[in-house]
Amino acid sequence: MKLIYLAAPFAVSVLSLSRDRGEWMAPQRDAVRGPCPMLNTLANYGYLPRNGKGISRDVAIEVLDTVINWDVSVAGPLYDFAQPTNPTPNATTIDLDQLTTHNVLEYDGSLSRQDAFFGPADFTTPNINVEQAARARTARIVTAASTNPSFTLPQIGAYFDYRETAAYQFVFGTWNLEADNIKDKISTPLEAVEYFFKYERLPLEKGWVRPINRLTYDVLVNFVLESQVLTHGQMNGTVPY
Ligand code: HEM
Ligand code: MG
């Protein structure tokens, strides 16, 4: 048994993460989770620390690269944005529950939190196109704004918003970035997205595999700006990083 462990390539981890890395386990009693379904999911597999605490920049970057093919140009700035949510001065790690710090990164009108699962009524076909995803996003904000008297959506929230919608499409969808119409650039199986949000598990049993395409900053920004046209009729200025 020992020999098998030694021989197994996954046993050697530069990150010194546990041997059961890659195995889904529900969070244990000492674990914390936060508002990001993907970071929660990665902790559930032990790619990020299972207790959800002490996540360093290097680990976040390595894991997003390895598991979902996200380039450091996306993962790095995203992590840097989150770092200030750790209240300890000069901290170099984050805990997942710290990400809920209201209006730093976490904001009202989330896709799947609080009340309902994000507007399934918006999705009427087995595959979501970019336009449906953008409209579901907008519908969710309108609902939150009209039902929550203290609703605020700071500028930063508005940007992250479309990024999050973009994020799940990039991870779970099939890309066709050469398509003429933004609407057709990614097609995302609804089943996979629902499964992910509901269970905080990668939809491997629905046939999901690590995206072949690498998500770089340029790809993300162009996609987010173009997506805005679908709901606002125009691009919404620049992006925060
Ligand atoms: C939500 C942080 C990576 C997908 C959030 C929120 C935070 C956050 C603070 C809460 C915003 C809110 O709704 O109020 C981060 C950080 C990341 C990261 C710091 C990396 C270092 C990712 C990745 C994905 C992702 C790789 C890929 C799918 C989402 C989605 C939501 C979200 C879909 C919206 C959840 C909802 O509205 O219910 N993230 N995230 N995130 N994140 Fe992440
Ligand atoms: Mg929120």
- Residue 129's φ and ψ, nearest 5 degrees, are -95, 175
Tell me the residues surrounding ligand 2 (ion) with CB < 5 Å. 106, 110
Residue 105 CA to ligand 2 centre (angstroms) = 8
In contact, 165 and 227? CB cutoff 8 Å: yes
Residue 192 near ligand 1, beta carbon < 6 Å: no
Report the pLDDT value the prediction gives residue 56, as an integer from 0 to 100.
98
CB proximity list for 14: less than 8 A, separation 6 or greater: 62
- Position 127 scores a pLDDT of 84
Q: What is the spatial distance between Cα 165 and Cα 227, in angstroms, rounded to a whole number?
A: 10
The residue ranges of the chain whose pLDDT is under 50 are 1-16, 103, 114-120, 156, 240-241
> What ipTM did this prediction achieve?
0.98
230 lines ligand 1 (CB under 6 A): no
Task: State both tokens at 4.
Answer: 């098998």
- What is residue 165's predicted lDDT score, i.e. its pLDDT? 83
Q: Where are the domains of the chain?
A: 26-100, 115-236
Q: What is the pLDDT of residues 100-116, one digit of tens each?
A: 865 455 555 555 554 34
For residue 2, what are its two tokens? 């020992």
Report yes or no on whether pTM surpasses 0.90.
no
- CATH code matching the domain that covers 115-236, chosen among 1.10.489.10, 1.10.1040.10, 3.50.50.60, 2.60.120.260: 1.10.489.10
Beta carbons of 184 and 148 less than 8 angstroms apart: no
pLDDT in the model for residue 5? 46
- Report how far ligand 2's centroid is from the alpha carbon of 239 (Å): 19
